[in-house]
Structure 1
């Protein structure tokens, strides 16, 4: 895998996460209905990877690192390594020039995991940021929610990306990564403490098969997946 090879060359540590990790453990590859790859790494390694793509743009040709630093209109707080030889179309997102992609989640220090206010702020501003990235309002199956949701959707669009990003970026370095026992993506803290992990669990990795490749997974993957999904080996009905 291109990103795995590049991380080895640059001495960057990563691990696959979320649905990709479930797929690796349960299927030795993609979940049958999944269509992308999720990996996580420390914020410092994330910035090194982003910097490499920015410095070697011509050499890498169709491979590009999409982020708020590299594309002015890019609407997400995570980065994406994209193959722009392909075209991605979405019914609810704008056209940002992305092709097939790998999501790159930067992980930040989260202190001892007991701080409350920074996590509340992160969830609030990220929820606003996410709603602003939608091109139009999507009705809920629960009709009674549509009126308040539409009001909130309209309210969120009064704020600029710059304002929301500024408030999220304040949280990224709130805790010293090296001194933190826990880590989380502080500018995308969408699921509360489900998305907070012991730093050692993120950093201690082993290799596992994924679609014929050997990729890094957390050594303590079972505890992390159960924290996120419960019985992740059970197929949905």
Structure 2
């Protein structure tokens, strides 16, 4: 990866990894320390194996419990009350809560990798419910190249089925609505360090107006 890029695995407990260009600006938390990159980014969302109709077991509740412990163990009691029971043994959960989050992350990765490539269906475990659920593994097994703004970009061969599952059959019809990016501050020519707290272009009034602080 180029030296001007930052690999950001856990920005504000996001449901994906971000790869940021530190030469640019995409500010939506202006009061964060400049050591935390807020350059323009691409999201890399992991897809893990999930239960299918061919016998792959339902592992997601166990993975969700590990994710909660990784990010915010205080949420675990409410999660367990909502489920009615724990997927992992209770003594194991208590031990994991006392474990360093970095070690829990490693346990989660090892567990997911151990069961990777064995199901016909996959999903992003972080946002499984909000983003439409399961996907067919076959949609991602081959790559095609699609034109965009004069360039050719790689895409999953099953992109049409994937987009229909994600956004509906009318996914090609633009929808005019407010989005998450409308209140971000973008600059492709200057680094984010100029715009965060302490930077020469930090503008508190602008950020307040845009609802960023």
Q: TM-score, normalised by structure 2?
A: 0.52
C-alpha deviations, 1:128-160, integer Å up to 9, x for none? 87789xxxxxxxxxxxxxxx9xxxxxxxxxx98
8 A Cα contact 1:66 1:74, kept in partner: no
Tell me what 2:52 maps to: 112
- 1:47-196 superposed matches below 5 A: 53=1, 60-67=2-9, 75-76=13-14, 78-91=16-29, 94-95=32-33, 96-110=36-50, 112=52, 117-123=58-64, 126=67, 162=102, 165=105, 168-169=108-109, 171-173=111-113, 175-177=115-117, 179-186=118-125, 188-191=126-129, 194-196=132-134
Please give the alpha-carbon distance, in whole angstroms, between the structure 2 residues aligned to 1:110 and 1:199.
10
Pairing 1:199–2:134 present: no
Post-superposition offset of 1:125 = 5.8
Aligned length: 149
Aligned to 1:236, the other structure's residue is in SS state coil
Aligned to 1:88, the other structure's residue is in SS state strand
Q: TM-score, normalised by structure 1?
A: 0.47
Where does the alignment leave 5 or more consecutive residues of structure 1 unmatched? 1-52, 54-59, 133-147, 149-158
8 A Cα contact 2:70 2:102, kept in partner: no
Cα 1:106–1:88 change in 2 (3 A) is: same
Post-superposition offset of 1:202 = 0.8
Please give the alpha-carbon distance, in whole angstroms, between the structure 1 residues aligned to 2:134 and 2:114.
15
Aligned to 1:180, the other structure's residue is in SS state coil
Post-superposition offset of 1:184 = 2.4
Where does the alignment leave 5 or more consecutive residues of structure 2 unmatched? 79-98, 177-213
C-alpha deviations, 1:26-85, integer Å up to 9, x for none? xxxxxxxxxxxxxxxxxxxxxxxxxxx3xxxxxx231232225xxxx8744532221101
8 A Cα contact 1:67 1:74, kept in partner: no
Q: For the aligned residues, what is the CA RMSD?
A: 3.9
8 A Cα contact 1:119 1:192, kept in partner: no
| Displacement over 6 Å in runs of 4+ | 127-132
- Greater C-alpha radius of gyration: 2
Tell me what 2:161 maps to: 223
- 1:24-35 superposed matches below 5 A: none
